[in-house]
Amino acid sequence: MAGPERAPWPHGFLVAEEEVLGDFVIPPADGSPTRDFQTLHFDFGLPVAPKVERDVALCTALYVSREACEVVASTRLVGLAELFGQRDWPERRELIARLARYGRTHGSWDEDGYTEGSLARVVEAAAGSAPALPAVRSEPGFLCGMEFDSLGSELAFFDRHALPVEAATVEIPLRPGQLLLFDNLALAHGRRGRREPGELHQRVYGLKRAPVERQRQLRDCVLGAFSAS
């Protein structure tokens, strides 16, 4: 776990060391460029077709240090049950089959199975229509999280799938000294607005080297949101 000089978390905010999967500064304080939005995603990804033990993120904590200057960005949280409940979907077995097919043809399926971090790709796979997003393996230099070049294009994607995402979105403008903790498998998250280097501190908590069967159980809980309506 990073020391206080890297992630100045509020006094008393403690979680067992073995539950911490990642500790990040966003954007990196090295001055790397950052976009004015971040696509909706799941930290560490959703284990769609797990083949090996791997870490699974259960919740995420975001904290803006008290020393931060003016903050203009806001965190976007999208409830999966609220989003998916806006239209009809196939039953769970067919959903899993569609997601697996998508992973093999358009996603990042490899010898370790298929884990998907992009909410848009989960929707595109579940819809079963011809993919419009770039194929992860066949697009040279493609980076996950770069599916859209603007927030408007992301919103338009969900609209085309009859999922007006803003109707299921809560925006939280964290201010210096404020902490946000949320369920990584019930809520997809992203960002509106640009963050300054080193502005946000993020910790991800969950299961280290979760067994394959446990990953499938967690996946099935997430897929339950497709039938929540």
Count of other CB atoms within 10 angstroms of residue 157: 20
| pLDDT score at 110 | 87
pLDDT by residue (tens digit) across 148-195? Answer: 999 999 999 999 999 999 999 999 999 999 999 999 999 999 999 999
| pLDDT score at 36 | 93
> Long-range contact list for 88-96, CB < 8 A, 24+ apart?
89/126, 89/226, 89/227, 90/126, 90/128, 91/227, 92/220, 92/223, 92/224, 92/226, 92/227, 95/126, 95/223, 95/226, 96/48, 96/49, 96/219, 96/223
Residue keyed to tokens 């809560």:
170
| pLDDT score at 215 | 96
CA dihedral 93, 96, 100, 102 (to 10 degrees): 110
The domain spans of the chain are: 20-227
Q: How far is Cα 165 from Cα 84, in angstroms, rounded to an integer? A: 9
Look up the pTM and report it: 0.90
Task: Please report which confidence band the pLDDT of residue 8 belongs to, taking 50, 70 and 90 as the band edges.
Answer: low
pLDDT higher than threshold 80 for residue 91: yes
Q: Which amino acid is at 3?
A: G
Cis ω for the linkage preceding 27 (within 30 of 0): yes
| pLDDT score at 158 | 98
